[in-house]
Amino acid sequence: MVVNVVINGYGTIGKRIADAILKQPDMKLVGVSKTKPDFSALIAYRQGLRIYTLPDKVNAFEEAGISVAGTIEEMIDSADIVIDATPKGYGAKYKELYDKKGVKAIFQGGEKGSLVEVSFSALCNYDKALGKRFVRVVSCNTTALCRIICALKNSFGVKKVRATIIRRGADPHEIKKGPIEALVPNPVRLPSHHGPDVKTVIPDVDIVTTAVIAPTSRMHMHVLNVELEKDVTVNDVVSVLEDTPRIILLSESNGFNSTAAFIEWARDIGRKRYDIYEVPVYKESITIVNGNELWLMYGVHQEAIVVPENIDAIRAMFEIERDGFKSINKTDNSLGILKRWPE
């Protein structure tokens, strides 16, 4: 079976998912939507992607030398599934149209959990998305938290999670966001929304999160404290995280001492747009206190981390692959996701 996929919203997340779809033998990228005929639209068009837009924007695209394949509505008519990667809140407005057109849809983390049947994170609840029509891939921060928590939960049991999230102020291309010089509690009144968002995927977890927005654009960073059900050693945790897909342990002895180092590494190994799909964990940060209290720190590349989960969600919703780990394997191989470095 080959699933016909369209991307509504070819922005930060949408363009990366489009590239990933092109690498899947069981999926076909039918088209992408753009609302402005900017350089991204022109590059996509020159790459051979079919570009769709809003009815009142067609002329602007044609004037910019981009021949439009049709309107967004027409694009949806030719799809089995829409990946909605429009800005936060727009997905909720588009849902009615997707419903009317009888297509399936995947929404992103900016939308509310109540919009969909399942909030999805492949390592935690792949099975729940089997055959579903409307699924939400949770946000970048929630995806990272879910991957780590589910890995620990499955091996040791998790009593409670407390996390501090240092959020990037803006994506690199965003020039109107900040702060430029401040650390901003987000929010001042605890907790942050991330804990409740994790619970949309792992309902029974005891989690409280706080967040601070920092003047950086490359990555988020998490400081995680987890009380496990049993006593463990650092080596126990290292071996579980090493064996979990989409988590990679990177060592200070190889120069991994900051989010800047993670990004430089991604550039050096030739990742397009320096995308890091894995959760890069600072290996030496893994610390055990009092037998069962784990601390660790890791980075989250907000622009890329949710891409593999979108691919798996498609396979689950069309039941192309009923076994989550088989889908994860296919996706990870196609995207060159690493288990270890150096290998």
Active site (catalytic) residues: 140
Q: Among all residues, whose Cβ is closest to ligand NAD? A: 11
Residues in the chain: 343
Segment lying near ligand NAD (by CB under 6 A), choices 79-87, 113-121, 158-166, 286-294: 79-87
Q: 133 near 117, Cβ under 8 Å? A: yes
- How far apart CA 47 and CA 182 sit, in angstroms, is 40
CB 29 → ligand NAD: shortest distance, Å? 16
CB 83 → ligand NAD: shortest distance, Å? 10
Looking at beta carbons only, is 24 or 141 nearer to ligand NAD? 141
CB 144 → ligand NAD: shortest distance, Å? 10
Segment lying near ligand NAD (by CB under 6 A), choices 86-94, 119-127, 258-266, 280-288: 86-94
The answer to whether residue 331 forms part of the interface with ligand NAD (CB under 6 A) is: no
The answer to whether residue 109 forms part of the interface with ligand NAD (CB under 6 A) is: yes
Concatenate the DSSP letters of all residues of 297-314 into one string.
Answer: EEEE-TTTTTHHHHHHHH
CB 3 → ligand NAD: shortest distance, Å? 20
The answer to whether residue 11 forms part of the interface with ligand NAD (CB under 6 A) is: yes
Looking at beta carbons only, is 34 or 330 nearer to ligand NAD? 34
Q: 238 near 300, Cβ under 8 Å? A: no
The answer to whether residue 9 forms part of the interface with ligand NAD (CB under 6 A) is: yes
Residue list 271-290, contact with ligand NAD (CB under 6 A):
none
Looking at beta carbons only, is 53 or 210 nearer to ligand NAD? 53
From 8, 24, 192, 259, residue interacting with ligand NAD (rule: CB under 6 A): 8
How far is the first Cα of the chain from the last one, in angstroms, to the nearest whole number? 34
Two structure tokens written together for 52: 């769709």
Q: Is 232 left (phi over 0), alpha (psi -120 to 50) or beta?
A: beta
From 90, 115, 196, 285, residue interacting with ligand NAD (rule: CB under 6 A): 90
Looking at beta carbons only, is 112 or 339 nearer to ligand NAD? 112
CB 28 → ligand NAD: shortest distance, Å? 20
Q: Residue 225 class from Cβ within 10 Å (0-12 exposed, 13-18 middle, 19+ buried)?
A: middle
- How far apart CA 54 and CA 122 sit, in angstroms, is 33
The answer to whether residue 205 forms part of the interface with ligand NAD (CB under 6 A) is: no
The answer to whether residue 101 forms part of the interface with ligand NAD (CB under 6 A) is: no
- How far apart CA 275 and CA 239 sit, in angstroms, is 25
The answer to whether residue 113 forms part of the interface with ligand NAD (CB under 6 A) is: no
Rounded to the nearest 10 degrees, how much is the dihedral formed by the CA atoms of 24, 149, 153, 257? 100
| Bridge partner residues of 298 (DSSP) | 222, 281
The answer to whether residue 171 forms part of the interface with ligand NAD (CB under 6 A) is: yes
From 24, 121, 125, 139, residue interacting with ligand NAD (rule: CB under 6 A): 139
CB 175 → ligand NAD: shortest distance, Å? 12
115-132 burial by CB neighbour count: b if 16+ within 10 A, else e? bbebbbbbbbbbebbeeb
Amino acid letter at 148? I
Residue list 24-63, contact with ligand NAD (CB under 6 A):
33-36
Q: 262 near 256, Cβ under 8 Å? A: yes
The 3-state DSSP class for residue 176 equals: coil
Q: 129 near 104, Cβ under 8 Å? A: no
Q: Which residue ranges make up the site for ligand NAD (CB under 6 A)?
A: 8-14, 33-36, 85-88, 90, 108-111, 139-140, 171, 302-303, 306
